[in-house]
Amino acid sequence: MELILDTADTQAIAYFNEYLTLDGVTTNPSIITKSGKDFNVVVNEILAILNDEQDLYVQVLSTTCADIVEEAKYIASLRKDNPERMYVKVPVSNEGLKAIKEIKKLGIKVLATAIYTAEQGFLAALSGADALAPYVNRMCNFGDGVANTIALQNMLDINMMEAKIVAASFKNTDQVHKLIENGIQAVTVPTDVLTNMMNHPATDTAVDAFTADWKKAYGRTSLV
């Protein structure tokens, strides 16, 4: 399973990259704006942190097929030395679905995003999307986001389709937990959810007790 970080905060990317094994970083226009930086600046800063095996996902903003394709070409050009690791994110609007077919003809990797139903994800996979981002938490406003993401996974499996699900839009660890338990291929999680996945106060309490016992017995806080 792939663990992806859903942020354009370069400090956070560097931090989690140090402590965890990340498969990449996802962004969207809203996430980019939160960085407070120019689009090209933040993309290049993220690329400077990622290694050659880590994926970067960057989303188009245009809404017509022709313009989406132009933006996809531009996004792809930002990592032309490593095209396998650069995904263009395209929302699954009607124009987006049309654009996905065109972008795939150019050999650019595509993640279909803003997926709110299993059917939308399935249609994007039929259009050639390499990856699919169901918006798990946002889907919960319309039903069960976790169950619908698992349904999409079953649709792909039963039809032997290769598109990878990159489950997105998480608001709590339970949503991530349930999808990992059900064999999801990839999750992209925001920093707050990932922090909660990593940390438990009882772990720190346990470590503090080990240290205190050792210090009491041997007068030091290391093994040797």
Question: Tokens standing for 77?
Answer: 């050009």
Binding range to ligand E4P, per CB under 6 A, among 16-24, 98-106, 131-139, 212-220 = 131-139
Among 135, 164, 184, 187, binds ligand E4P (CB under 6 A): 135
Among residues 73, 89, 98, 215, the one annotated as catalytic is: 89
Residues 160, 127: contact at Cβ < 8 Å? no
Length of the chain: 224
Among 133, 150, 152, 163, binds ligand E4P (CB under 6 A): 133
CA dist 134 to 129, 188, 205, Å?
13, 10, 37
Active site residue 98: no
Residue numbers 65-124 binding ligand E4P by CB under 6 A? 113
Q: Does 138 bind ligand E4P (CB under 6 A)?
A: yes
Q: How far apart are CA 138 and CA 117, in angstroms?
A: 11
Among 6, 9, 55, 130, binds ligand E4P (CB under 6 A): 6
In the 3-class helix/strand/coil scheme, how is 123-148 assigned residue by residue? HHHHCCCCEEEEEHHHHCCCCCHHHH
Which residues are catalytically annotated? 89
Q: Give the interface with ligand E4P as residue ranges (CB under 6 A).
A: 6, 26, 28, 113, 133, 135, 137-138, 168-169, 188
